[in-house]
Amino acid sequence: MTRPDNDSPRWEESERLAVLRDYGVLDTEREAAFDDLVALAARICEAPIAVVNLIDADRQWFKAETGLGVRETPLATSFCAHALLLEEGMVVADAALDPRFADNPLVTGEPRLRFYAGRLLKTTEGLPLGTLCVLDVRPRPEGLTELQAMALRTLGDQVMSQMELRRALRLREQSEDTARRALEASNYVGAWDWDVAADRVVADERFADLFGVNPVVARNGAPIAAFLPSILEDDLARVQADIETALGGEGEFKSEYRVRNSRGEERWIVARGQVYFDAAGAPTRFPGVVVDLTDRKKTDAALASVATRLSESEAQFRVLADAMPQMVWSTRPDGFHDYYNARWYEFTGVPAGSTDGEGWNDMFHPEDQPRAWARWKRSLETGEPYEIEYRLKHHSGVYRWTLGRAVAVLNDEGEITRWFGTCTDIDELKRLEQGRELISQELSHRIKNIFAVITALIALSARQHPEAKGFSTALRTRIAALARAHEFVRPHTETSKPTVGPTTLHAFLADLFGAYVDGVGASRVEIDGEDAVFDDQAATSVALLFHELATNAAKYGALSNATGRVRLTTRREEDRFILIWTEVDGPPLAGPPEKTGFGSSLALLSVEGQLAGRLTREWRSEGLRVVADLPATALSRRRAAEKAVDGRSS
């Protein structure tokens, strides 16, 4: 009997506990192998109690026991916990006399243990897990006999061997389980092993399933002929050829083909294997794995078909774009230019790709760049179509006028996916337009000049006949009014348009009445109401009507004294356009004039003859009031006609 040298163990308790758990023996069922060993130990040592005792963190647990009747007891009363601290084992001849156990309830009370002999159960690493021990209720001052001690040592080793066996089995199970789970999880991999000489293919469940073969047959092994019929007929010859090549000396095997599985579904698989040869070069074994590719194939096929369709539509687009007489370009939603057709490169002569991104703007005339950039930015922000005329640098070095247009392509969600744009060379057109503008300007100038020459001629003629001065003045002012009206209605160019502002009725009338101003330069004819536009067909009538009204007012009415004023109100009433000329603060009127002058006839003719309206005159004492009630279309008959045509055609 020896005492422990010290209370501190030679191992890390946490490590010992981890290793103990690694054996996977705690809390397992009783096993005959262990039960037999404790029974033998008890018999040989002539002890009523024997146990295989494992020391856990806070308990001792008995893998096997005889004479005790329990499977675990608290650590506090454990004899073995003490034994663990010793190298080989521990013998307590009389516990009642041993200070370590004298107070132990198992000694002082039932079952009144007195004798203990334990043999340490140590792992190969030297960690003590517990003991094989025998106990007696009577003291044994003589201890164990030599034979008994040897038997306990041997049986202890046996226990440890059983433990090691279980640990090894458990580790193998674990790793096999991991591998199997991995295979199952992949769900796509099957394995085979072909004994070529015996023609016996052993295959796992997955392989059997893929080939539609009974898994039991596959596990036990079957000739390769049992598997081949599952391969689709179209692929079979190819697979057999691949097998022959591998067996013929190649060794490595890889083949992709279709099989019909146990549910009759067609699956794409890839098989990889390796042929092993004997010393004579004859194939002996041919193991390998198959992987189910069906889902990947499906994805690949879908991708391929999308790619094909894309490339087809892309090719079509390019052919179309290159065939177009215009330059075609396209940008990403953010405006990054990533495509130009052949025409663009032909026109600009720049290297392909050099105008990608924002490089395009440098191709335009520096004066046009800020404008182009601003418009383009606006379109990008709002999605509005882009349209601009700018000068694009031709490869010859000259700038040519170009019409740029672009529209956004939207997806189902209404988001812009691309911009497609064109540039059309309109340089010729622009030149023609400029030429036409020049001619138009020249013509307009000459027409106005003719009016000037005619009035000069009248004035000069009248100088020879002083009695005709009044007549000539009236005629000249009428012609001047016509000339003004002409200026308002003829087609205008940028340089020829009137300098007075918009070419509306009010603008024209303000100009016509420009001569009638009061002492501070304010017009004596106040114009208000709804404005309108008038065309060349109405111009003569409008000019003559208001010229006559104004000259008449200047001779006899409100404009003939210093205080009088005229208010001219225009308004639209449904399909009528009404002009009301009201004179106030002029000399009081005595009633209608005794005779109608030529001017009045002209006014009447203009309204009722030319404009198809009604002219009413009231000679009120406070001043003349004239109402011209015209069809709304009278002022611009051509426009109205065009609108009517548009309306019908749409």
Q: Where do contacts with another protein occur on this chain (CB under 8 A)?
A: 441, 444-445, 448-449, 451-457, 459-460, 463, 473, 476-477, 479-480, 483-484, 487, 495-500, 514-517, 520-521
Distance (Å, whole) CA 303 – CA 299: 6
- Count the residues in the chain: 650
Residue with Cβ nearer another protein (460 or 645) = 460
Q: Residues 113-127, buried b or exposed e (16+ Cβ, 10 A)?
A: bbbbbbbbbbbeeeb
- The helix (H) or strand (E) run that includes residue 552 is helix 536-555
The distance of closest approach from Cβ of residue 452 to another protein in the complex, given in angstroms and rounded to an integer, is 4
Closer CB to another protein, 145 or 449, in the complex: 449
Q: Which is nearer to another protein, 330 or 496 (CB)?
A: 496
- Taking the C-alpha atoms of residue 595 and residue 579, their distance in angstroms, rounded to an integer, is 24
Closest CB to another protein among residues 498, 587: 498
Rounded to a whole number of angstroms, the minimum distance from the CB of residue 600 to another protein is: 22
* Nearest distance from C-beta of residue 523 to another protein, angstroms: 8
> DSSP secondary-structure letter at 532?
-
Distance in Å, CB of 454 to another protein, minimum? 8
What angle, rounded to 10 degrees, do the helices at 536-555 and 637-649 form?
150
Instruction: Work out whether strand 525-529 and strand 565-573 pair parallel, antiparallel, or are unpaired.
Output: parallel
- From the list 238, 177, 187, the residue with the least C-alpha distance to 209 is 187
> In the bound complex, what is the minimum distance in angstroms from residue 318's beta carbon to another protein?
48
Taking the complex as a whole, the smallest distance from the CB of residue 561 to another protein amounts, in Å, to 18
With a CB cutoff of 8 Å and minimum separation 6, the contacts of 612 are 630, 631, 634
Dihedral (CA of 226, 227, 230, 235) sign? negative
Q: 417 vs 461, which CB is nearer to another protein?
A: 461
Compute the least distance from the CB of residue 514 to another protein, in Å: 4
Q: Which C-beta is closer to another protein: that of 280 or that of 520?
A: 520
CB 458 to another protein: min, Å: 9
Reference 607, options 596, 617, 621; nearest CA is: 617
- Measured distance CA(534)–CA(26) in Å, rounded: 110
Nearer to another protein, 23 or 451 (CB): 451
DSSP assignment of 120-149: EEE-TTS-EEEEEEEEESS--TT---HHHH
* 206/484 with CB nearer another protein: 484
Contact of 437 with 462, CB cutoff 8 Å: no
β-pair partners for 604: none
Residue 438 amino acid letter: L
C-beta closer to another protein: residue 464 or 649:
464
CA atoms of 635 and 41, how far apart (whole Å): 132
Q: What is d(CA 588, CA 638) in angstroms, rounded to the nearest whole number?
A: 42
Cβ at position 392, least distance to another protein in Å: 28
